[in-house]
Amino acid sequence: MSRCFLILAFSVVLGLGGCRPVDREATPLVDNSASQSGGPGLSGVYEPVPEQPSGYDATSPRPAPDMNTRTEPTGTDEPSDTDRGASEADTVAPVTAPSQTADPEDRPPDPEVQGSKTEPTVEVTEPAEPETDGVTAIAEPPEERNEVDESAGEEAATTTDATASDEATKASEAGRSATPSDKREATADPEAETTPPETAKPGPPPAVEPTPAPEPETKWHKDWKAFYEGYAALLKTYVDDKGDVDYFELRRKRLDLIGVQNAMEAIKLAEYEQWETAEKAAFWINAHNICALRVVVDNYPIKPRWPFNLMYPNGIMQIPGARTKVYFRLVEREYSLTEMERDRLLKQFGDVRYMFALSHATRGAGFLRTEPYYPDRLDKQVDEQVRRFLKSPRGLRIDRDAGVVQLSDMFIWYKDTCIAKYGQVRRFRHQPDDVRAYLNFVFDHLPEAQADYLLNRTFTVTYISYDWALNDRASP
């Protein structure tokens, strides 16, 4: 009976809200059994379960009971129906109501508390971040998670994934929209590059200036280069158009002549034997003229000698042994001026034209050119020399009124060579063999008018005395 009375009294207290709340921070009593079933709680009043605020931890531990408050014993060891219901509620929901303690003074309940609803207050304490030495610590998720955490995490992850997906989609769309223009800006249009520029309207062609004809390419042996360059510079400096030489100035600067001579003497016999015919002939013509200059320069001014001054004017013949006893070393052998002329040019080549390319340092021989004789132009050069010589009074004179043709006595020097080459030609057969040979040689180098006169007229052939005077520019 007493048990029933106690139960009824306890129920009245709960229904009227006479229980005074414990003076501590705790979550108000919520009847989980009523909230789960949707019916009235222990107080007999229908109370809906308040929505939990965001971040509420449903699995947070139950607040510890106040150790200063004591609970009245019930006088029996059996659990009451209320305790049994509370126990059942604890097994259903993860959140349980705090322990309730009867008021020992049995004071009436506060009317303001009866039937009031108070939202639970939960203090969320963030864990302290551990100190790390420059390394970011990553907290591991708790092993036990409730349904609220899982749903909140899934919603956050879904939101994050959706946001990232939207950003990626926008970026890709922006990239696709920007790619064509960027490519057009970064890469030039190939068609634009290959498009030819606009050409100007055709107008009158520009005036073309006539280009001078290129000089013929000089061909010589590789070892001749230094020799030809030095010799060409010397001839242009000291020889005039008449073939006269400035011996006075050349003696003062004889090193120019000696340098050319040394380059000529440096050519070896083995190299010379490998040359072509024109190269060898040009070499001996140039060598003879250079050596004649050297003989005069070494004895300039020339002093007359008796009795040679009675026969020869002041010139190379006044120098003792100038033509026969002064030797020069060429292609590893020694030669005099006469040996170069007779043994090399006449016997080896047999070309009379070469004799008119030698100056002999006199005014009776061929004119000294202002350029060397080159192998690739040798035939042209010697033909010019012969025509120039025959055109001058020193080579040929024709007196039409007297019927006399005068030739230089140089032809007599080369009589045998002329007969061997020109004595068999069927012209001038009424002339002696030597004269016939001379006339045949001259006929090939004369102008047409003079050639007709020799061929169709009767004349007498005489000889011009050779002028041994020095071809000196200072001489009258």
pLDDT for residue 231: 96
Percent residues over pLDDT 90 in the chain: 49
Which residue carries 């970064």 as its tokens?
Answer: 186
| Mean pLDDT over the full length of the chain | 73
From the number of C-beta atoms within 10 Å of its C-beta (0-12, 13-18, 19+), residue 378 rates as buried
Rounded CA gap, 362 and 40, in Å?
157
pLDDT exceeds 50 at position 193: no
Rounded CA gap, 385 and 395, in Å?
11
pLDDT for residue 309: 79
pLDDT for residue 190: 44
| 394-448 per-position pLDDT tens digit | 999 999 999 999 999 999 999 999 999 999 998 999 999 999 999 999 999 999 9
Amino acid sitting at position 77: D
| 82-133 per-position pLDDT tens digit | 444 444 444 444 444 444 444 444 454 444 444 444 444 444 444 444 444 4
Q: Which long-range contacts (CB under 8 A, 24 or more apart) does 379-384 make?
A: 379/278, 381/357, 382/351, 382/353, 382/354, 382/356, 382/357, 383/353, 383/445
Domain ranges of the chain: 2-92, 222-392
Lowest-confidence segment of 17-21, 263-267, 301-305 by average pLDDT: 17-21
pLDDT for residue 313: 81
